[in-house]
Structure 1
Amino acid sequence: MKLDKILDKLGSIEKNSFIKVIDLIISKNPKNGKEIDTILSSSDKGLKAVDNQNISKIFSLTSKEFQTHVKCEFQDITSQLDILIDIIIRDGNCIMKQDWFSRLYEAEIKHLESRIKTLNKDFESDKSDLSEIRKRDYRIYKSCLYVAYYNDIDNNRESKISSDELSILLTLSKQLGLSQEETKLINYSILPIKKLDIQDVIKSLKNIGVIFYSNKENTIYVADEMVRILRRVREKEVAEKFYRRTLKLLREPIINQIAKEHNIDRKLLYSDKIEEIIKEGVSFSNLLYSDIYKNGSTLTERKRTLNELCEKGLNIKNLKGSTLDEKIENLITHFDNVERDEKVGISVDGFDKLLTELNESLPKLNKEIKSQFQLQDEYVLKADFLLDYNIKPRDILDLISKEDLKKFILDNRIKQRGDDILNILEHYKDVENLYLENYENVAYRDLNTLKDNGITVKESELGLKFEELTRNIFEGLGFNVDEDFKKQLNTKKDMMDILLNLDNNEIIIVECKTSKEKGYNKFSSVSRQLKSYQNLALKNDLRIVKILLVAPEFSDDFVTDCEMDTEMNLSLVTASTLLNIHEAFKESKYEKFPYVLFRDIVLNEERILKALSK
């Protein structure tokens, strides 16, 4: 869930710890201080009085300083910050009830204690699978850590790892090729794990500013933007879902080679070995630099192998970079851009339809997804729910075995030639067009016709669905549908549906109305509403080029009242007319709809279509 969306859900007290951390960073003259001052200049009361969207922007501008702030917290090695951060950055753990977080924390402690016992036995046993070279690496790191921690006690000081010592230890672990899990196990073999009270854990994470906690809902929230920062702190270069997507392209002998290198049981199932590699925190870049190639591969052969992996497996054409390091860095950047992209890849409705049909074809999938992402709800195959966790259609399909994907494709008559996952995603893109084809039926709130046409929707959702489709149509006409600017202008009393930003302080206001009745006939109420929007815009020194009212149809009386109104530059457009304009525009020479054509009281469809065809 995005930071501004989380902030919208919380009260001022629940945001307080986070605001304090950001305020402290701002007081120390951060790199982007001027841009931050520009945002804060609109508020006399400082950061607390700034709206949530601008707080999100300020957080983005201080992200590097925030990362440094979190790294400093690692000097207190009794804080268990590595354990806790590794839990909250896992895919699916960005929204958690307190009791669920408590269970995950307890399970992690037990898992670590068990692994530490095994590691200590491996140190001592001659029959261990660990090679002598690996044992030597472990001993080197363990000895250095021991000295860094206990030299304070020898000098009658409080035991802690200084920032310099931490920097050296991190460099050492990297050079020895230790995974994060291996490092963690050695750390806690010297400093025994003490299970902390869950309330103290939540309080410490909240005070650092990395989580939000809703007292009302007993729920922990970790913003998507925060997850990316914490991942960098833990030197995890990509999200687990992208790591998994890459590993699944490798043959089992290569997976075994990686497992052997990092003390992972090679007798596990192929899919389980992949999950263990991810959990181990094996460096993604190190993996692509050396671990996935045959022994003795030349640099040229490695580059060729990586190019093939990207082109044929990940569908990334022409991975940039002349060196292997550059190619790996560009692949990591690609995954970062994909994660930041708010587009789902298919419509949300298409995602819902995909999930429904996956559940019908593969009834065990719900349980598997729930387990994979450690989700609490019983039924998780819901688009809006998964998107709050930043889980997209491709992420779900990546988890399904090839055999089950084949079955699903056959069950739903999806194209079989080519890449299975891309074929499925393409197949479910059509739902958005299905809704657009039924745009007028949505406007008329005609549930029966929608159902007959294969669309299942609640009546309570039709108003918002009509607004969403209208927004999509105006975007398709080349307009800047400015949601951010609209939110800045809207008040609790006056909330316009759609704002088209024409730049230079010029706007078009669009209001959407659905109606079961034939002939929309509520001019007095809608005119009051539109005049309040007009006043709101004028107060902000904006020029209103046009106000558009979109409805299924208008009565003669409504049109007459509109013609008599002298205060608003209002035009009426029926749903069918707007849809036909949209279709004609796609075939026209224009990149952006010429809004001067919005000049009639009731938009003349025939005249506009003729103008577009010229």
Structure 2
Amino acid sequence: MKLEKILDKLGSIEKNSFIKIIDNIIAKNPKNGKEIDKILSSSDKGLKSVDNQNISNIFALTESEFQEHIKCEFQEITSQLDILIDIIIRDGNCIMKQDWFSRLYESEIKHLKTRIKGLNADFDNDKSELSAERKRDYKIYKSCLHTAYHNDVENNREAKITSDELSIILTLSKQLGLSQEEVKLINYSILPIKKIDVQEVIKGLKNIGVIFFSNKENTIYVADEMVRMLRKIREKEVAEKFYRRTLKLLREPIINQIGRDHNIDRNLTYAQKIEKIIKEGVSFTSLLLEDIYKQGSTLTEKKKTLNELCEKGLNISNLKGSTLDDKISSLIEYFDNIERDEKVGISLDGFDKLLTELNESLPKLNKCIKDQFELQDEFVLKADFLLDYNIKPRDILDLIIKKDLTKFIKDNGIKQRGDDILNILEHYKDVENLYLENFENVAYRNLNLLKENGITVKESELGLKFEDLTKVIFKSLGFNVDDAFKNNLNTKKDMMDILLNLDNNEIIIVECKTSKERGYNKFSSVSRQLKSYQNLALKNNLRIVKILLVAPEFSDDFVTDCEMDTEMNLSLITASTLSNISEAFKTSKYNEFPHVLFRDIVINEERILKALSK
């Protein structure tokens, strides 16, 4: 869930710790201080009185300083922060009830203790599956950590690891190629590990600003933006779902090779080994630099393998970068952009339909998704629910084994030639709803974003498409979009876009304008056009209740000119406002939108949404 949406759900006391940290960062002149000051200049009372959207914007501007603040907390090595952060950054753990989080925490501590016993046994057992080389690496790291922790005791000081010692230890773990899970196991084989009261854990995480806790709902929230930041701190370059997507493209011998390097049981199934590699925290970069290639592969062969993996497996053509490191960075950036993108790839209705039919065809899938993402609800195959956890259609399909995918495709008459997952996504695209979700992009004539979101359209068609979509929205608001009446009125010279027939000779005229340029600023030409429509209606003894102009946005000059016009009852409405009103109307008590709410010069979205929610 996005930070702004979480902040909207919480009271001021529940946001307090987070706001206080950002306030402290601002007081120390952060690198983006000028941009932050511009946002704060509109508020006399500082950050606490800024709206949630701008708090989210300020957090983005202070990201590097916030990251350093959290890194400092890691110096308290006994805080278990690594254990706790590894729990809350897992896919599906961004929203948790307190008791569910408590269960996950207890389970993690118990699991760690069991594995530490196993690791210690491996140290003492000459016949363990650990290779001599790996055992040597573990012993080197463990000895250095032991010295760093216990040298204080010898000097009659409290046992702890200083920031200098910690940076050396981290460098050593990287040079030895240890996964984060291996580091964690060795750390807690030396440092005392004990279960902390869950209330104290939540309080600690809230105080350092990484979680929010709603007392009313007894629920922990971790913002999507915070999850990405915490992943960087834990050096997990991509989300688990993208790691899984990449690993599933590798043959089992390669997966076995990775497992052997990181002490993973090779008797597990292929799918279990993949999950284990992800949970072990094996670096995605080091995996693609070294681990996925045949022994003795040349640099040229490695580049070719990676290019094929991206082009044929991940459907990414022309991966940027000339060196292997550059290509891997480009792939990480690609996954990061997908995760940040709020678009689902198919329409929301299409996603719901996909989930419904998946549940019918594969009845065990609900439990599989629930377990995979550690979700608390019993039934989880709901589009709105999954999107709050940033789980999208592709993430669900990635978890389904080939045999089940084939069954689902046959059950639902989906195209069988080509890539199964892409065929499924195409089948459930639901073009009209996808266009409606991209209504603002159509208004702005943004062909690139439309293409990225799965819509292919000619630029010459965008004006008419915007008009058609606006009609669909007004119909959904309960209006009578009367094309027959409009066509009878229109002349060759005067052709209004949309006519809403309110009966009793009363109408609303709607004009639609698309624009690539920011700030629609052509009042003189559009006003002449609208006045001619007005005269046409008046000649036919019609009462014009309202004239609405729909455009992507309006310049200040345009709004001023509109305010000064005394001849038309004209209101301006942006595409995003109309779209948001349509969404709010779906859950309102009204069967028909009360058009009296269209009374501002520039339609006030917030006021209308409040009126619809009553």
| TM-score relative to the length of structure 1 | 0.76
Q: Does 1:192 align with 2:192?
A: yes
Counterpart code for 1:146? H
Quote the offset at 1:571 in angstroms.
Answer: 9.3
- Alignment partner, residue 273 of structure 2: 273
> CA separation of 1:290/1:341 partners in 2, compared to 1, >3 Å: closer, same or farther?
same
> CA separation of 1:215/1:474 partners in 2, compared to 1, >3 Å: closer, same or farther?
closer
The CA deviation string for residues 342-367 of structure 1, in whole angstroms up to 9 with x for no partner, is 11111111111111111111111011
Q: 1:148 and 1:247 mapped to 2: Cα distance?
A: 36
Q: 2:300 and 2:181 mapped to 1: Cα distance?
A: 31
- Alignment partner, residue 24 of structure 1: 24
Q: Does 1:260 align with 2:260?
A: yes
- Alignment partner, residue 432 of structure 2: 433
Q: Does 1:401 align with 2:401?
A: yes
- The counterpart of 2:444, out of the listed 453, 478, 495, is 478
Contact map agreement 1:74 1:81 (CA 8 A) in 2: yes
The CA deviation string for residues 329-387 of structure 1, in whole angstroms up to 9 with x for no partner, is 11111111111111111111111111111111111101100000000111111111101
Counterpart code for 1:71? K
The CA deviation string for residues 226-254 of structure 1, in whole angstroms up to 9 with x for no partner, is 00000011000110000000000001011
Quote the offset at 1:326 in angstroms.
Answer: 1.2
Structure 1: segments with no counterpart, 5+ residues: 437-468, 481-509, 531-541, 549-553, 573-577, 579-614
> CA separation of 1:273/1:76 partners in 2, compared to 1, >3 Å: closer, same or farther?
same
> CA separation of 1:16/1:560 partners in 2, compared to 1, >3 Å: closer, same or farther?
closer
Quote the offset at 1:137 in angstroms.
Answer: 0.4
The percentage of counterpart residues that share the same residue type is: 73
List aligned pairs for 1:441-520, cutoff 5 A: 469=436, 472-473=438-439, 475-478=441-444, 514-515=477-478
Q: 1:16 and 1:511 mapped to 2: Cα distance?
A: 41
- Alignment partner, residue 317 of structure 2: 317
Q: 1:28 and 1:306 mapped to 2: Cα distance?
A: 44
Counterpart code for 1:514? L
- Alignment partner, residue 14 of structure 2: 14
- Alignment partner, residue 118 of structure 1: 118
- Alignment partner, residue 569 of structure 1: 570
Q: 1:226 and 1:248 mapped to 2: Cα distance?
A: 27
Q: 2:272 and 2:280 mapped to 1: Cα distance?
A: 12
Q: 1:69 and 1:295 mapped to 2: Cα distance?
A: 41
Q: 1:47 and 1:99 mapped to 2: Cα distance?
A: 32
Q: 1:10 and 1:544 mapped to 2: Cα distance?
A: 42
Q: 1:140 and 1:274 mapped to 2: Cα distance?
A: 28
Q: 1:475 and 1:328 mapped to 2: Cα distance?
A: 31
- For residue 413 of structure 2, give the secondary structure of its aligned residue in structure 1: coil
Contact map agreement 2:348 2:433 (CA 8 A) in 1: no
Quote the offset at 1:299 in angstroms.
Answer: 1.1
- Alignment partner, residue 178 of structure 1: 178
Count of residue pairs brought into register by the alignment: 494
Q: 1:419 and 1:151 mapped to 2: Cα distance?
A: 58
Q: 1:382 and 1:526 mapped to 2: Cα distance?
A: 40
Q: 1:86 and 1:49 mapped to 2: Cα distance?
A: 33
> CA separation of 1:361/1:134 partners in 2, compared to 1, >3 Å: closer, same or farther?
same
The CA deviation string for residues 246-279 of structure 1, in whole angstroms up to 9 with x for no partner, is 0000010110111111111000010000000000
- Alignment partner, residue 48 of structure 1: 48
Q: 1:565 and 1:511 mapped to 2: Cα distance?
A: 26
The CA deviation string for residues 158-183 of structure 1, in whole angstroms up to 9 with x for no partner, is 22222211111111001101000000
Quote the offset at 1:153 in angstroms.
Answer: 2.0
The CA deviation string for residues 513-539 of structure 1, in whole angstroms up to 9 with x for no partner, is 72378975499x999xx9xxxxxxxxx
Q: 2:542 and 2:36 mapped to 1: Cα distance?
A: 48
List aligned pairs for 1:566-605, cutoff 5 A: 566=567, 568-569=569-570
> CA separation of 1:543/1:201 partners in 2, compared to 1, >3 Å: closer, same or farther?
farther
Counterpart code for 1:393? P
Q: Which moved more, 1:559-568 or 1:371-380?
A: 559-568
Instruction: After the TM superposition, list the runs of 4 or more consecutive aligned residues in structure 1 that deviate by more than 6 angstroms.
Output: 510-513, 516-519, 542-548, 554-558
List aligned pairs for 1:133-532, cutoff 5 A: 133-429=133-429, 431-433=430-432, 469=436, 472-473=438-439, 475-478=441-444, 514-515=477-478, 521=502
| TM-score relative to the length of structure 2 | 0.76
The CA deviation string for residues 31-51 of structure 1, in whole angstroms up to 9 with x for no partner, is 111111111111111111111
Q: 1:97 and 1:386 mapped to 2: Cα distance?
A: 16
- For residue 220 of structure 1, give the secondary structure of its aligned residue in structure 2: strand
Counterpart code for 2:258? I
List aligned pairs for 1:82-93, cutoff 5 A: 82-93=82-93
Quote the offset at 1:475 in angstroms.
Answer: 3.7
Q: 1:202 and 1:571 mapped to 2: Cα distance?
A: 47
Counterpart code for 1:433? E
Contact map agreement 1:521 1:558 (CA 8 A) in 2: no
Counterpart code for 1:247? L
Quote the offset at 1:511 in angstroms.
Answer: 8.2
Contact map agreement 1:22 1:59 (CA 8 A) in 2: yes
